Amino acid sequence: MKQKSLWLILFLAVCVCFSNVKANDFPVGASVENFTLPDINGKQHSFNDLKGEKGTIVVFLSVQCPVVKAYDERLNLIAADYKARGINFIGINSNSTENGEAVKTHAEKNYKFPVLIDKGNVIADKFNAFATPEMFFFNTENKLVYHGAIDNDRSGANVTGNFLRVAMDEVLAGKPVSKSETKAIGCTIKRVNN
C-alpha cells in the first residue's frame, strides 16, 4: 500500500511540474487573431489595420536591450525595403520594466514603423515570445511562416545568414519558407509576472 501511495504522489508531482511548462502553443503555421494595442501616443491600432498587403512582421523590441540597439538601423532599412514591396512592420514593446515615456522617446528616435505598447505582456504571451528582438512573419492569410532571428550577426559586420530577408523574399516569390525557424538571440522580455 505504501508503494502505491508513493507512486501516486510521484505521478501527481510530475503532472504538476509539467502543467507549469509552457508548450509552444504558437508554432509556425499558427494563425494570428486580430488584436488591438495602443501606440506610443495612446492611440489604439489593430493588427488588421496595420498589416501589409503581402505580409506582416511583428518584432518585439526593448528600450534598454543592447542587442535591439545594435539592430535598430538594420530594422529600419529592412522595414523600408519591404514596405515598398507590401510587407509592413509592427514593433511591440512588452517589457514591464520600461515605462511609456521611455518607449515613446526611443521609438520616435529610432523607428520608422509603428511601435505598440503591450502592457501586461498579453501579446508576448499569446505569441510565446521570449526575446528582444524576436521576429514573427505572417503571410497574407495571417499564418506564421517565419519565427526567430533577423540574421546571424548582431554586430552586422559578418552577416552570412539573412534569415528574415530570405523568408520574406521566398514568400514574395510564391515559394515556401525554406528555414521557418531560427533562435532569436537577445534580451529576455521582462514580464509582469517575472
Measured CA to CA, the distance from residue 105 to residue 4 in angstroms comes to 61
E strand or H helix at 60: strand 55-61
Which domains occur in the chain, in start order? 2-188 (3.40.30.10)
| Cα gap 92→1, rounded to integer Å | 55
pTM of the model: 0.86
With contact defined as beta carbons under 8 Å apart, do 171 and 54 qualify?
yes
Report whether 74 contacts 164 (CB < 8 A): no
Tell me which residue of 122, 103, 107, 118 sits closest to 37, measured CA to CA.
118
Q: How many residues does the chain have?
A: 194
Cell of 33: 487573431
CA distance 123 to 138: 15
The C-alpha atoms of residue 142 and residue 134 are separated, in whole angstroms, by 17
pLDDT (tens place) for every residue of the chain, 194 residues total? 555 544 434 333 333 333 333 446 799 999 999 999 999 999 999 999 999 999 999 999 999 999 999 999 999 999 999 999 999 999 999 999 999 999 999 999 999 999 999 999 999 999 999 999 999 999 999 999 999 999 999 888 899 999 999 999 999 999 999 999 999 989 999 998 75
Distance from C-alpha of 184 to C-alpha of 67, rounded to nearest angstrom: 11
The continuous run of DSSP H or E covering 147 comes out as: strand 144-148
**Spatial contact of 25 and 128, defined as CB atoms under 8 Å apart:** yes
If we measure between CA atoms, which residue out of 113, 112, 116 comes closest to residue 103? 116
Q: Give residue 192's pLDDT.
A: 85
Cβ within 8 Å of residue 192, ≥6 positions away: 96, 120, 121
The three-state secondary structure class of 188 is strand
Q: What is the spatial distance between Cα 126 and Cα 92, in angstroms, rounded to a whole number?
A: 13
